Amino acid sequence: MNNLNDPPNWNIQPNPRDNGGDGNKWNYALLVPMLGLAAFRWIWSRESQKEIEKEKIEYYRRLTSVQRDLESKYRDIITENRRTVAHLELELEKEHNRTLSYREALISQSRKLVEERRVLEQEREKLEQEKQVLQHSGAAGALYQSCLAKEAQWQKRANTVIKEFEEALLERQDIYCSFVLPRNQRLEIEKNLLVRAATDPVAMDIEMENGLKDIFKYDTHCGNVLNTNKRQNGRLMWLYLRYWELTVELKKFKRVEKALLEK
């Protein structure tokens, strides 16, 4: 057994019969590599721990940087969105005010046309009464009938012109209300109508040009989305078309009256 009071003999003694006591050499030979391995593991663990701490610090640094960048981008996006919303609200308010302005102008123009139509109806009734008187006055009646027949031809031509304008306005309003038809087609029709209104004798006589400009500026009415009937589009244009027809009829009688006075 080992004797703790005898340090030289701490280790178990080798069998004296085995090569005369060389066992201590082998014990120390095994101890040195084990101590070296333990030292290596300690050094390696310490270095690994340093690397881990270093990587942690670098990771948190990158994470903090990314968070700051994201927060900055988020604030920029929020600011830009708020700016965009404010701009859109302003534009919406402008469009709302513009729509109200157009609506008020359309209502005002419609009232004006209704009033003018009422006046024309009154004048037509007055002229109709005068016509009845002339028809029963002998030679004057015959002259009246002759002048009336002549001016009826002018009225027919004038109504034909109005009908042609009506067809063009129907096409123009249909393009205006369409989601697919190109805008330049509508502008081309408007330009052609204005040119004709400024050059056609009948159109000039009943002053169609100003009415067309009002229609192009204020008539924004369209039928429902599924509407396929062109005549359900537009409002102001129909008032003007009726106004022009009444104007033609009134002018016919005034032309007859003028012809009679010149005889």
pLDDT tens per residue, range 75-131: 777 777 777 777 767 776 766 666 667 667 767 777 777 777 777 777 777 767 666
Predicted confidence at residue 28, as pLDDT, reads: 58
pLDDT number for residue 132: 66
Q: What span, in angstroms and rounded, lies between the C-alpha atoms of 210 and 168?
A: 16
pTM above 0.95, yes or no: no
Query: In sequence order, which residues have a C-beta less than 8 Å from that of residue 45 and are 6 or more positions away?
Result: none
Give the domain ranges of the chain: 89-262
Angstrom distance (rounded) from CA 173 to CA 241: 14
Gap between the terminal Cα atoms of the chain? 166
Interatomic CA distance for residues 154 and 251, integer angstroms:
10
Return the axis-axis angle of helices 208-218 and 236-262, rounded to nearest 10°.
170
Task: Compute how many other C-beta atoms are within 10 angstroms of the C-beta atom of residue 250.
Answer: 17
User: Of 188 and 6, which is predicted with more confidence?
Assistant: 188
| pLDDT surpasses 70 at 218 | yes
What's the CA gap between 8 and 23, in Å, rounded?
13
For the chain, the C-alpha Rg in angstroms (whole number) is 52
The CA-atom distances, in angstroms, between 238 and each of 97, 158, 172, 192, 196 are 26, 17, 13, 19, 19
Interacting residues of 60 by C-beta distance below 8 A, sequence separation 6+: none
* Mean pLDDT of all residues in 134-159: 71
pLDDT in tens, 17-74: 444 445 555 555 666 666 667 666 777 677 667 777 777 788 778 878 887 877 787 7
Provide the pLDDT for residue 92: 65
Residues 98/100/101/104 CA torsion (nearest 10 deg): 160
Q: pLDDT at position 20, please?
A: 47
Mean pLDDT of the chain: 76
Residue 99 pLDDT: 61
Q: Which two tokens stand for residue 50?
A: 């340093």
Q: How confident is the model at residue 137 (pLDDT cuts 50, 70, 90)?
A: low
Identify the band that residue 199 occupies on the pLDDT scale cut at 50, 70 and 90: very high
Alpha helix stretches (DSSP H) within the chain: 23-135, 139-177, 183-199, 201-205, 208-218, 236-262
Looking at residues 144-150, what average pLDDT do you find?
A: 72
